[in-house]
Amino acid sequence: RAAEWQLDQPAWSGRLRITAKGSTAFIKLEDKTSGELFAQAPVEQFPGIAVEGVTDSSRYFVIRIEDGNGRRAFIGVGFVDRGDAFDFNVALQDHFKWVRQQSELARQAQDLEQGPKLDLGFKEGQTIKLNIANMKKKEGGTGSTRPRPAGPGGLSLLPPPPGGKSGSGERPAPLSTPSQLPGTPITDSLLSWPQPTAAPAADVWGDFAKASG
């Protein structure tokens, strides 16, 4: 009980800091001016015997200090402000919460290393089969030539040349479409005329009107 202490005449006053090294927290009592260490209490577990709260106040605690040579002592410490006492508690709780998380992560990593490992590699001589559906060769693709449609009488009809100039520098005359004369039906014989004789250089395609037959 803090009421049994001589709270009006403390034996020492100064500042308190909490540091950590690994999983151990250290409560350090230091001179508030020079920072000289007065005493420290290593805390390996919280709540635990190293830090205990009193029964009649939330601002006072009993801590176990050590001098590093095996000697220990229990002393009572208290805070003037209640908010400082709250921060003291929270700092210790946060540290040991982090310690538990690190321990859990290490345990999970160890379980994964010891567990069976999934081998996704191919064994010697092992093969796999891929079934790819709807893979049809595109019609008219590279390497295949579609035949040109033949005109009536077996004569292949070629499209007119592009609008550029020919090798002789003259534009060829357009191919005229046969017209139907009055009383003369167009038959296959009209489209199967013999090839015209070579026309003068001025008319590359020839004159269909002067063709014989």
Q: How far apart are CA 173 and CA 202, in angstroms?
A: 9
Helices assigned H by DSSP within 16-75:
none
pLDDT of residue 67: 87
What pTM did the predictor assign?
0.50
- DSSP conformation class of 58: S
- Both tokens of 76, joined, read 């009572």
Cα–Cα dist 95/90, whole Å = 9
**Distance (Å, whole) CA 124 – CA 200:** 77
Query: Would you state the CATH architecture of domain 2-114?
Result: Roll (2.30)
Which pLDDT score, from 0 to 100, does residue 37 have?
A: 93
- Which parts of the chain fold into alpha helices (H)? 82-114, 188-191
**Residue 51 and residue 74: Cα distance in Å, rounded?**
9
pLDDT of residue 175: 53
What is the per-residue pLDDT for 170? 55
Cα separation, 22 vs 37, whole angstroms = 21
CA dist 206 and 197 (Å) reads 8
pLDDT score of 17: 94
- Give the torsion through C-alpha atoms of 117, 118, 119, 120, to 10 deg: -150
HSE (side-chain half, CA atoms, 13 Å) at 89:
13
> What's the pLDDT at 203?
58
Mark the ranges of the chain whose per-residue pLDDT is less than 70.
115-119, 134-213
What is d(CA 159, CA 163) in angstroms, rounded to the nearest whole number? Answer: 12
